[in-house]
Structure formats: structure tokens, C-alpha cells
A and B are shown apart, each in its own frame.
Chain A
Amino acid sequence: MLTRARKPHAVQVPAELNPDTIRALENSVDQLIADGVGTIVLDCTKLAHISSMHIGVIWSIHSRCDNLGVGVILNSVSQTLSRVLRILDLDKLLEINESVAASEKSSHLSQAGREAIAEFQARCKTDEESVAAVNDSFREYIRSLELEKHQAIDLETVFYEVITNIKNHADVTPGEYITVSARFNEQQLVLNFADPGMPFDPTRQRGSFNVVESLEIGQKNGFGLTMISRMTDKIEYSRSKDGVNLLSLTKLLAKDNNSV
């Protein structure tokens, strides 16, 4: 029997650190520990500028949690913070989900007609907490884009479907990473997944689906590709020479382009 899956509990690391904000952060962490959570996610979205004090606070929280058997994941880690952690060799000791800020969408057009582009990037290991954290990050990214309701649902659903299938079926070596990225403009959103797991080409799978037959036989499996193909407009797959699955899903967003 499986244990109940626990949603990671997130605490935001404040942009400005002073005695009050540090105390508030530590109190939040202490409360989560007292509540018995298994994993704490430190949300680093607001850390645009990094100081040694930030590193010290993060490390202090990590050490305290580690001593108590509580996991810590750094989420939405900017490239700047990631670089600093690498220089200090802390990337080898901390669980990190790198993410370009998801809230950079600008909805205005320049006079040259250049469309706004908003990107999402993240990577995670295949443990449940890391996958849940990156899924939640992607969900926030989609919300920030203010898409039509069903488009947002399709993208959230497809993201969740693909990443959980990679986690459960691709046999990715523990410690290796799944990398995801999304690139949005007003016409489309392209979602990319890269994983070093077993080869799986979804474009070669049979995607036919008959709901009546499925109900008659009590079909349990095989709905994933139907879901993905019906919720997106293009599926592309390749496998790199160094054994990485590369899956690209495109969803058209402009009204006159929708053809699901």
C-alpha cells in the first residue's frame, strides 16, 4: 500500500534580508518542521540580487532541516543564484530546481510589432517532491500568461501527464535531471521536455481511441497519448546522440489557429 503522497510545503525567501525578515523566515520553517512536513521548498523567485547573507540563511535552514531529517528543495532558482551556488560547490549539497522567472510576460507590442515572449525553464530530479514542485511552478507560469481557460487546462494537464510518465516509466537514473522549458508568444506555446531515460517515441505509438470499446473492455491504459494529441497541435520527438529523449509539444493559441 502506498503512503499518502505529501505536497511539498513552500516558504518564500524574501528579497530583502534583515533581522525581522530572517526571523519571519526561520519561524515559518520552524512551524513547518513542527507540523511534521517531510520536505520544505524554499521559493527563490524574489531573489533577483544575491548576497552572502542569502547564502548563509539558505545554508543554515538546509543544515537545520538536514539534521532533523527534513528535505529542502530550492525552487525557482535564477541563473545568478545557481551560478553562485555552483561556485561555492553548494549545488552538490543542495537540491535545486532551476527556473527562469515565470512572471516576465509583457503583454504590449512594440511599434515594430515584436511579440512578447515569456519563457519558462526548470529542471528536476525524478523524486516525487521535485516533480511536484516543478509541476506547481509550471502551473504558476501558465496562470501568469492569462490564457483562455481551456488552453490553460490543456497545457497544465499535458505537462503533468508527460512529466509523471517520464518519472514513472522512463527509468531515469536517480540523481539525473529532467529538463523542461516553455516558450510562449501570442500565437503558440511550445513545451519541451528532455530526459536521459529509456527511448520512447510517442509519434510512433498507435493513438486511436474508441470510448465505447474502452468502456466495454474496461481499458486501463493507453489514454495518455490520446490526451496529449487532443490537447496539443503538434508532437515532435527525437533522441540525441548522447541518449536524451527530446519531446516538443506545440499548442496553438490564436483563435483562428486552433485545430485540436
Chain B
Amino acid sequence: MFDTEQIDSATIVIRMGRVLDNNNAHEVMQVVDAAIKDGHRFVVCDMTGLEFLSSAGVGSLISSLSVLRSNGGSLTLFGLSEKILHVLEVLDLKDYIPMETNLEAAVARCKSQAKPEGSTQG
């Protein structure tokens, strides 16, 4: 399972390994589901070590983003290599999946999207 770290009550970080493919793509969605159950709405993915991204891995990112958005949150990636960025560009995803250069920027982005307690979600 991927390493995760809680940043705050609304945000966790998932640290990707070298590979995101058929073998472990479902683990991303498991972590996201668990995070939502625990009350987190924002998931930040540390992609700095990722070297291989297959279509199954792409699917897990899209599915996770969709689920988080439907819960009033979001998925943000950071630390993408030129290779991984190019794969997402080829699939026209670069403009649709939030990306930042580092963890601090990604967390700041999540905070700026967080709505105050009690406000209407969605």
C-alpha cells in the first residue's frame, strides 16, 4: 500500500512509488475511499518518484479526482517528471488535473479550495 501522511483534518498526501499500473492502481482508489471515510476531502499525490504510468494508473487518478470532487474536494498532483507530464498531456489531462511543483504549493491550493465549515458543498 502507498505511504500516506495527514497534512491537516481535510488533506492527506499519498506518496507514489516508481510505478503506477495495473498492479497497484486500485490501491490509489482504496486510499482515496478511506480518506473520504475519515473526513478528508483533499488528496495530494506525491509523484516525484514515479517513473512508469500506465493507462490503469491514469484511470485511478481520474476516478479518484471524480470521487473527491463529488465530495466537495479535489486531487492535486505534484513533483511530476517531464515523462509523466507528457503522458498526461497526450491524454489532454494536463489542463484538467490540478498540478503543482511541490508539496507546499499543492497544500496551499487545497486550502484555497476548502470551503468554510457549514457551507453548501458541491
Contacts and interface: CB of A to CB of B under 8 A. Distances in A.
Contacts of B55: 161, 165, 221-224, 226-227
B67 interface: yes
B120 interface: no
B23 interface: yes
Contacts of B21: 160, 164
Given A2-B23, A215-B62, A219-B62, A156 B91 contact: no
Interface string A1-32: 11011010000000000000000000000000
Given A160-B54, A164-B54, A211-B93, A219 B59 contact: yes
Nearest to A219: B62
Contacts of B17: 4-5
A69 to B, nearest CB: 22
A51 interface: no
B66 A217 contact: yes
B65 interface: yes
A61 B52 CA distance: 31
Interface in B46-71: 52-56, 58-60, 62-63, 65-67
Of the four ranges (under 10, 10 to 19, 20 to 34, 35 or more), the interface on chain B belongs to 20 to 34
Contacts of B93: 211
B63 A220 contact: yes
Contacts of B18: 7
Contacts of B58: 223, 227
Nearest to B29: A220
B121 interface: no
Contacts of A7: 18
A221 B96 contact: no
A9 B53 CA distance: 21
Interface string B72-93: 0000000000110011001111
A168 interface: yes
Interface string A136-157: 0000000000000110011011
B54 A211 contact: no
A37 B72 CA distance: 43
A256 interface: no
A57 to B, nearest CB: 30
A220 B58 CA distance: 8
Contacts of B90: 154, 227, 230-231
B4 interface: no
B91 A209 contact: yes
A35 interface: no
Nearest to B94: A211
20 contacts: A5-B19, A128-B23, A154-B86, A160-B52, A160-B54, A161-B55, A164-B21, A164-B22, A168-B22, A209-B92, A211-B96, A215-B66, A218-B62, A220-B29, A223-B55, A223-B58, A223-B59, A223-B91, A224-B56, A227-B90
Interface of B: 1, 17-19, 21-24, 27, 29, 52-56, 58-60, 62-63, 65-67, 82-83, 86-87, 90-93, 96
* The 9 A-B residue pairs with the shortest CB-CB distance in the complex, in nearest-first order: A218-B66, A224-B55, A223-B55, A220-B59, A211-B92, A218-B63, A168-B22, A220-B63, A153-B83
Given A5-B17, A160-B21, A211-B91, 12 more contacts: A149-B82, A153-B87, A157-B87, A164-B54, A209-B92, A215-B62, A215-B65, A222-B59, A223-B91, A226-B91, A227-B87, A230-B91
